[in-house]
Amino acid sequence: MPQIVLREALKRGLEEALDNDPRVFMMGEDIGEYGGAYAVTDGFLKKFGPERIKDTPISEQAFIGAGIGAAAAGLRPIVELMSMSFALVAFDQIVNMAANLRYMSGGQISIPMVIRAPTGAGVQLGATHSQSFETWLAEVPGMKVVCPSNPYDALGLMRSAIKDDNPVLVAEPALLYGAKGEVPDEYYEIEIGKADVTRTGTDITLISYGYGMRPVNEAADTLAGRGLSVEVIDLRSLSPIDMDAVIASVKKTNRVVVVDTARRRGGIMAEVTTDLQQRASEWLDGPIMRVGSVDVPWPYNRGLEREVLTDAADVLAAVAEGYGL
Amino acid sequence: MASSTKSSSTTSRETAKSPKNGKNSAADLDKSGIGAETDYLDLFRQMYLIRQFEIACGENYSKGSIRGFLHLYIGQEATGVGAISTLREDDYIVSHYRDHGHALARGLDINRSMAELFGRSTGTSKGKGGSMHLFDVAKRFMGGHAIVAGQLPLAAGLALAQQYNKTDDLTICFFGDGSTNQGVYHETLNLAAVWKLPILFFLENNMYGMGSSIERVRAGGIDFYPGMATYGIPAAEVDGMDVLAVKETTELAVARIRNGEGPQFIEAKTFRFVGHSLADGQKYRGQEEVKEWEERDPTITFPTKLIAMGLATSDQIAEIKAGVDLAVENSVKFAEESPDPDLSEIHTDVLA
């Protein structure tokens, strides 16, 4: 199977949507002439022209809001935020408008819109460019949130996001744009709201998504080396969360560690933890262990940032603390 | 009706010039023949309908039948009616939280509108939206938006779709003076101008953002339209108490937009005769100011003028009033008799 990087997988998903559906167009800061801050849309302007590849002013509220309006009118906009941290500037539009419009209009309006944004820390961008607000937006009813961990999922989820009639946030882990993986030439989609059991086992379940799959897989390898049978779940979607898959796994392994590379406090893993507590506590042989990045603003210094960011050692420490393994 | 044309041109002042400027000079307007087929009685009917609807809303709020926040359009009727009378079926309308007037001027069903305020299942949003969130997509009435200035980029996006689809439809976006201090106001004006979107920015300057007079919250005085020169958006000021002036000024802007000349801006000076919401004791302004504006009440001055000019008889006016009064009364009955939404509705319309 051909190997491509995650950036190319995203690009393929976007390009085929632009090829196949004239209602699809893109907006964002420097996605055209410049080619996109992370080069995902490089070459698109030349191929699709300025009407469909729209460079915007640095006005996140205005262009996210304009995307919502265009979607309400029947187009299918794909809007790029240059950083997930910039979503804060447009939160009013994303939450009050995109997510609420359908409900408060009694179902009269749909917002078939994709918002894409690079997310996460790890490349020394400091406090304002390293945050992961997909965990906040996953709390908001009326929209969906996905976060791929590899090129295969990136393409499959992007296809589903673009086809979806709701606002969908695609959180693209910035550290993974160059990550390679197998992607078949045959068409496939990945259903939003379905987790992926990426490794089956019987002794312990490790759960994460997005960039968090990297420390989780590393930790799983280490544990396997110690003779443990590890099950690994990639949530893929943060809203809706596939709790059925999570619970089915925990019933089998009776041990669980939930892992986020976003800050530990609040966040999606608090949600997973609470649901597990309510629905599967009698199946557990120990505490639900939760791992996340340190609850401080993201530091710039490389050593500090690495220490704050969740890594495999943090996951292994939680396994040891919770279950003595 | 020549006099109305004159009143429009004398109250309409242009600032920023469009590339093909000069189209709305007084002389051109006189020659334009705009308003020749105006249905004066219908303009009155609409304004009177809004007034009586709002009065009924106030009464039913006091009774507890309508809850939440209730912002009445009383005093501003000429603005919404005049502006919306110029639009076509395919044009989009986007409004703010004081949205009943725009909704009724667009022809939203009065029964379903009242039922929405009562929170009933027969309401325009099945009782899930309320006073500040009226919608009727079939009529291209795209809300009722309650975050101040939040509706501006939505309107720009609707206009973007109209441009993308290569139509000559347009979007009109109403907002108040209070929204002009939000950053997204500037963002949207700039975006619309850069992309030459078919959008009419319609400022209803009623002199107060809730309890704050413009002087207390804005540097630069009470006139907003001159600032549009910054964006290169042609802008006009109009007397928002004069329905014909509003109509004619809007017609001109609408024609320019359909002609591909990009966004236009109209500032209507108007006034709400009542508080910001039903919870407002109006401690921030004197009754003299309110009285001065009330003397220009369009639901009184306009029919008086029509009768004086021989364009309507007092019998015709009385007949319209009787019809509207009955319709409003019936809308309250309809709302009262409508069932609450079923509890299962909690979970519908969240996702498509």
Instruction: State the pLDDT at residue B13.
Output: 52
| Residues linked to residue A170 through DSSP beta bridges, in sequence order | A116, A146
A151-196 confidence digits (pLDDT tens):
999 999 999 999 999 999 999 999 999 999 999 999 999 999 999 9
Tokens for A271? 């949600």
ipTM value for the complex: 0.96
Instruction: State the pLDDT at residue B10.
Output: 34
pLDDT per residue as tens, chain B (352 positions):
433 333 333 334 554 434 333 333 333 333 344 445 689 999 999 999 999 999 999 999 999 999 999 999 999 999 999 999 999 999 999 999 999 999 999 999 999 999 999 999 999 999 999 999 999 999 999 999 999 999 999 999 999 999 999 999 999 999 999 999 999 999 999 999 999 999 999 999 999 999 899 999 999 899 999 999 999 999 999 999 999 999 999 999 999 999 999 999 999 999 999 998 888 888 899 899 999 999 999 999 999 999 999 999 999 999 999 999 999 999 999 999 999 999 999 999 999 9
Instruction: State the pLDDT at residue B177.
Output: 96
Angle, helix B77-84 to helix B40-62, in steps of 10 degrees? 130
Q: CA B29, B32, B33, B39 torsion: positive or negative?
A: negative
Residues of B in contact with A58 (CB under 8 A): none
B158:A62 CB<8 A: no
b/e per residue B25-57 (b: at least 16 CB within 10 A) = eeeebeebebbeebebbebbbbbbbbbbbbebb
> Checking phi first, is residue A268 left (phi over 0); if not, alpha (psi -120 to 50) or beta?
alpha
B143:A112 CB<8 A: no
Distance CA B174, CA B267 (A): 10
Q: How far is B97 from chain A (nearest CA, A)?
A: 13
In degrees and rounded to multiples of 5, residue B108 shows phi and psi of -60, 145
Q: How far is B131 from chain A (nearest CA, A)?
A: 11
Instruction: State the pLDDT at residue A161.
Output: 98
Question: Chain-wide mean pLDDT for chain A?
Answer: 97
A48-94 confidence digits (pLDDT tens):
999 999 999 999 999 999 999 999 999 999 999 999 999 999 999 99
B154:A74 CB<8 A: no
B187 has a chain A CB within 8 A of its CB: yes
Q: Which residues of A are catalytic?
A: 60, 129
Which is the CATH superfamily of the domain at A3-182? Thiamin diphosphate (ThDP)-binding fold, Pyr/PP domains (3.40.50.970)
Which CATH number does the domain A196-323 belong to among 3.40.50.300, 3.40.50.920, 3.30.70.260, 3.40.50.970? 3.40.50.920
| Domains along chain B with CATH numbers | 2-339 (3.40.50.970)
Residues of B in contact with A66 (CB under 8 A): 153-154, 156-157, 160, 188, 191
A320 pLDDT above the threshold of 90: yes
Instruction: State the pLDDT at residue A194.
Output: 98
A69:B161 CB<8 A: yes
Instruction: State the pLDDT at residue A250.
Output: 98
Instruction: State the pLDDT at residue B38.
Output: 83
Residues recorded for chain B? 352
Instruction: State the pLDDT at residue B278.
Output: 85
Distance between start and end Cα atoms, chain A: 36
Domain boundary assignment for chain A: 3-182, 196-323
**∠ at Cα B246 (B35, B80), nearest 5°?**
115
